[in-house]
Every structure is written in structure tokens, then in C-alpha cells.
């Protein structure tokens, strides 16, 4: 697929760690790289490896024997490494390999990468808690020598191009089916493959076909949207009311991580107008939502005023960095979401005053108040200072 060609240019001489959601086309990408990368290249599917007959025979209740099998297989691949002829190893479903590989083999991989005898390409699913947990710690030595690259959904024109490979006819109806498949999948190649059998033969009606509607409801049940807390989380995302990831607490953080990992929600949902990857996932969310959420208009005014205070004190860029926001202009909507999540939902999140305290400290908070011409009592502690700043934003909003 032409869409995957951009990754050929992004992969460094050492390799990389490619991270994508489920159904984002990771396995298609692995096969594409195996065909198109120059030199001695091998593809290792860790999922297929642990499911081979030999691994099943060796597997016991502790999983130790299958681990030994996986390590032997990986050693056999690494024996092909030669300084005279650089070797590229592509590992699909790499998170499975991470759960089995020994520390000694991790060290050997790093040594081979640094000696330029091995180029390693790890392709894995997003973790539910990306940047935390046991698998993250296992990967850390490798990520110190390999850059991480996000597998992003294709642009609209690229998505249509991928969809055209499923319906090759130039008939008017097939062109409409390509459009439908592109819009419903959000451009995710794996999801396109799953949805292709459900693509309506005739697209003259506006209603969702019964088979598609059934798939939507079944998927909602399969991913646990009947759970009240999970449903409340996806509802807040659906109505663009949920705080950004940096301001979420457990278990809200894990719920959002799950939605991102399965490819339902975009990682940057808090700054996106359309937070879902395609109409399929949007309809899955809508199938469990009852009624409408309260307006966030009042919080929008307070958020806008707070950003004005931060901007005048030259602190908005620092705040944007801490929130992982590349566009300072998006800060008002992030703070609006944070206020709403904190005040109008039961979804655990970090209070804005605590975020300001940890990010700006006493010096930054005093700077905001002084910029606004306020006399600052030197005896005020950090909590009192953050409250003063928020009161100022609320009273003048």
C-alpha cells in the first residue's frame, strides 16, 4: 500500500518501535516492510510463534517452557546476524515477545543494534497505560536506542485509495462503497478488512443497514460498554467533555487507554473535533448513550479567562507542554473539558488547582497574580495561591 511508504523514510538505520492501535494495519505494515526494505530482512510474528504446535506442547501452567521456546527461536534468528551483512529483523506483535524475552537477549539485541550488525523493527499494539507498567519497563532498554513512531490513520485521500483496493470496479455504486468503507473505518486498514463484508450493496438509503446495526450493538457489548463507568467515560468523549489524558486519574485513565488501544478513540481526542476513528466507532459509542450532557458554556468562559491570565504572565507555553498540547490555541478547550469533568461528572481527574500547583509552583502562581496587579501576601502557601488564581479567573469570566 502506498500509504505505508512514508514509514520506509522514517525508519532509522538502527530500526524503530512502531506503535499502533488494534486494526490499524500493523500486520499489513510488517509484511510491506518485509517486502520493500533493502538487504537481508526477516519477519517474525511473535503471536504466531507462541501459538505454534511446538510452543503448545512445551507450554505449561507457568508459561516458563513457552518462554524458553521463544528465546531459542529468537536466538536462532540472531545467529544470522553478521557484521559483514547487516540484518533487519521485523517483529510483529512485539509486545508478546517482550513478555517472553530474557534480559540477556534484550542486552544482545541492543549490542547488535549498536554494532550496526542488526536493524530491529518492533511493531506492537499500544499499551492501555502507555508509558507505565511492566511491559513498558521491559521495553525501556530498547527504547533508549530505538526511536518510537506512531502509526497514524491515513489522510482522507489515502483512506479512499486503500478502500479502492477492496472494490476495484469504477462503477458509481462501487465508488460509493469505497467512500462508505473509508468513512466508517476511519482509514484503519485492519478495520476496513473487518467491515468489508458488511459494506451495503446499495447505498441509496440514509439508514444504517440492519447487519451493520447488529455489528454495532454486538461490538458495544463485546467491549464492555454496558458497564456504567465505561459508558460514562465514552459518553464524555462523545460529547467532547472529557479532560485530556494528562489530567485524568485512575480508573478513568485506564478506560481511555483501553479505548485508544482498541483503535476506537484517537490519542489526541481532547483536541479533535471528531474524537473517534471513523463512523463505525462513533456509532458504537452512540448506541449506549442516553440523552444529552449538560452545556459547558459557563466553564468555557472561565477556561478562556484562565488562559488569558496565563498568557499575560508568559506561562501558557509551559502549560501546553505539560498537557502534551502542541497548539497553545487549543488550551481553552482543554481547560473547559477539565472543569466540566471535575464539576459535572464522577470520572476521577486531577483538579486544576493541583495541576497549576505542580506545574507552576509558588513562583509561577505569584507571577500570575502580580501581572494582574494583585497584592500577594507573602505568607500564602501554594494551595492558597492556586485558589486565588482560580477565583480571579471565575470572578472576571
Cβ atoms 70, 102 nearer than 8 A: no
Q: Report the chain (397 residues): mean pLDDT per 10 consecutive residues.
A: 83 94 91 91 85 50 62 74 73 90 90 92 88 86 95 86 82 86 92 91 74 95 96 96 94 95 93 93 95 84 94 94 91 94 95 94 94 88 92 80
The CA-atom distances, in angstroms, between 169 and each of 182, 201, 263, 366 are 16, 13, 29, 66
CB atoms within 10 A of CB 69: 20
Q: Would you state the cell numbers that stand for residue 298, as one nine-digit string?
A: 459557563
Residue 142's nearest CA partner among 116, 100, 87, 105 is 105
Asked if residues 21 and 125 have their Cβ atoms less than 8 Å apart, the reply is yes
Q: SS3 letters for the chain?
A: CHHHHHHHHHCCCCEEEEEECCCCCHHHHHHHHHHHCCCEEEEEEHHHHHCCHHHHHHCCCCCHHHHHHHHHHHHHHHCCCCCCCCEEEEEECHHHHHHHCCHHHHHHHHHHHHCCCEEEEEEEECCCCCCCHHHHHHHHHHHCCCCEEECCCCCHHHHHHHHHCCCCCCCHHHHHHHHHHHHHHCCCHHHHHHHHHHCCCCCCCCCCCHHHHHHHHHHHHHCCCCCHHHHHHHHHHHCCCCCCHHHECCCHHHHHHHHHHCCCECCCHHHCCCCECCHHHHHHHHCCCCCCCCCCHHHHHHHHHHHHHHHHCCCHHHHHHHCCCCCHHHHHHHHHHHHHHHHHCCCCECCHHHHHHHHHHHHHHHHHHHHCCCCCCCCCCHHHHHHHHHHHHHHCC
In sequence order, the β-bridge partners of residue 24 are none
C-beta of residue 237 within 8 angstroms of C-beta of residue 260? no
Bridge partners, 91 (sequence order): 44, 122
- Say what the pLDDT of residue 233 is: 97
Cβ contacts of 391 within 8 Å, gap of 6 or more: none
pTM of the model: 0.85
Amino acid at each position: 500500500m502506498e500509504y505505508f511508504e512514508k514509514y520506509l523514510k522514517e525508519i532509522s538505520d538502527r530500526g524503530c518501535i512502531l506503535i499502533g492501535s488494534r486494526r490499524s494495519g500493523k500486520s499489513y505494515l510488517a509484511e510491506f516492510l518485509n517486502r520493500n526494505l533493502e538487504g537481508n530482512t526477516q519477519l517474525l510474528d511473535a503471536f504466531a510463534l507462541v501459538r505454534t504446535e511446538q510452543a503448545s506442547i512445551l507450554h505449561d501452567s507457568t508459561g516458563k517452557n513457552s518462554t524458553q521456546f521463544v528465546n531459542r527461536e529468537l536466538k536462532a534468528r540472531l545467529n544470522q546476524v553478521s557484521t559483514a551483512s547487516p540484518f533487519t529483523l521485523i517483529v510483529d506483535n512485539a509486545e508478546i515477545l517482550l513478555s517472553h524475552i530474557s534480559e540477556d537477549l534484550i542486552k544482545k539485541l541492543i549490542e547488535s543494534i549498536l554494532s550496526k550488525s542488526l536493524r530491529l523493527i518492533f511493531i506492537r499494539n499500544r499499551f492501555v497505560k502507555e508509558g507505565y507498567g511492566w511491559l513498558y519497563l521491559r521495553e525501556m532498554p530498547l527504547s533508549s536506542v530505538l526511536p518510537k513512531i506512531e502509526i497514524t490513520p491515513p489522510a482522507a485521500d489515502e483512506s479512499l485509495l486503500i478502500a479502492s483496493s477492496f472494490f476495484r470496479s469504477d462503477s458509481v455504486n462501487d465508488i460509493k462503497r469505497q467512500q462508505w468503507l473509508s468513512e466508517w473505518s476511519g482509514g484503519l486498514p485492519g478495520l476496513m478488512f473487518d467491515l468489508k463484508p458488511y459494506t451495503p450493496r446499495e447505498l441509496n438509503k440514509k439508514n444504517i443497514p440492519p447487519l451493520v446495526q447488529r455489528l454495532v450493538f454486538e461490538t458495544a457489548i463485546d467491549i464492555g460498554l454496558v458497564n456504567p463507568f465505561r459508558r460514562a467515560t465514552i459518553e464524555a468523549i462523545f460529547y467532547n467533555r472529557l479532560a485530556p489524558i494528562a489530567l485524568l486519574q485512575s480508573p478513568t485513565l485506564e478506560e481511555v487507554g483501553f479505548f485508544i488501544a482498541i483503535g476506537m478513540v484517537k490519542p489526541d481526542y481532547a483536541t479533535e473535533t471528531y474524537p473517534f476513528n471513523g463512523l463505525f466507532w462513533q456509532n458504537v459509542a452512540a448506541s449506549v448513550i442516553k440523552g444529552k450532557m449538560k452545556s459547558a458554556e459557563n466553564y468555557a468562559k472561565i477556561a478562556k479567562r484562565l488562559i488569558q491570565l496565563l498568557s499575560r504572565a508568559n506561562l501558557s507555553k509551559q502549560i501546553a507542554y505539560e498537557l502534551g498540547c502542541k497548539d497553545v490555541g487549543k488550551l481553552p478547550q482543554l481547560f473547559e473539558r477539565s472543569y466540566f469533568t471535575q464539576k459535572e461528572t464522577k470520572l476521577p481527574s486531577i483538579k486544576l488547582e493541583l495541576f497549576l500547583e505542580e506545574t507552576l509552583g509558588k513562583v509561577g502562581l505569584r507571577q500570575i497574580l502580580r501581572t494582574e496587579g494583585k497584592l500577594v501576601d507573602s505568607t500564602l502557601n501554594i494551595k492558597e495561591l492556586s485558589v486565588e488564581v482560580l477565583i480571579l479567573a471565575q470572578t472576571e469570566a
